[in-house]
Chain A
Amino acid sequence: AQSVTQLDSQVPVFEEAPVELRCNYSSSVSVYLFWYVQYPNQGLQLLLKYLSGSTLVKGINGFEAEFNKSQTSFHLRKPSVHISDTAEYFCAVKGGTSYGKLTFGQGTILTVHP
């Protein structure tokens, strides 16, 4: 079984400040890890993913995440946020089988204030 915990339900931050959204996972098999973003009344868009190799992965919109196997974490970071980054962010894990289901965390609402 696999599970994902996003440690913060809401993260308020001022524009141009750095931000970190925390994600921890548990799984009995090797995993693939993802971050998705959902803007209001829209679907989910893939920000970035970790499959293997370098533990630091870069995604769209200036976001990056670091896979830490020992801490079973996959935190999302951005050095300087914009108002347009206001959205809900979901961390997700998928088991390493071809048909492994994507299990989502509870989501973190990022609100960027001017």
Chain B
Amino acid sequence: DTAVSQTPKYLVTQMGNDKSIKCEQNLGHDTMYWYKQDSKKFLKIMFSYNNKELIINETVPNRFSPKSPDKAHLNLHINSLELGDSAVYFCASSQEAGHGYTFGSGTRLTVV
């Protein structure tokens, strides 16, 4: 069983479209995250939810909106996609501060 699963794995779309990436974890963790990995492999946090409550919201354009229907799911919706949104998006979850994160396998988004 995959601990943190993301769908889709690959996403190619045109500029201006709206798309969603889904994430689910079956670890029973309370906290979930979205990270963006750019073309230079730099990982930057975007959002974090704890028990469906937003706790971290980094400087991210309003076009990005996370949604957490329950603590096992954290989806990412992106409006009006731009070329610069092309990246790999990773979902992760953690239970306690010292346990580190468990990452999903990533969603490679390509905007053309």
Question: Which A residues fall within an 8 A CB radius of B?
Answer: 32, 34, 36, 38, 42-46, 49, 51, 88, 90, 94-104, 106-107
Nearest residue in B to A35 (C-beta to C-beta)?
B100
Shortest CB-to-CB span from B2 to chain A, Å, is 10
Determine which of B44, B50, B101, B103 lies in contact with A99 in the assembled complex, contact meaning CB atoms within 8 Å: B50
> B55: CB under 8 A from chain A?
yes
- B105 CB-CB contact with A under 8 Å: yes
- Is there an interface contact between B42 and A102, defined as CB atoms closer than 8 Å? no
Q: Does the CB pair B97–A32 fall under 8 Å?
A: yes
Alpha-carbon distance A42/B108, docked complex (angstroms): 10
Q: Are A98 and B100 in touch, CB under 8 angstroms?
A: no
Q: Do B90 and A44 touch (CB < 8 A)?
A: yes
| A38 CA / B101 CA spacing, docked (Å) | 14
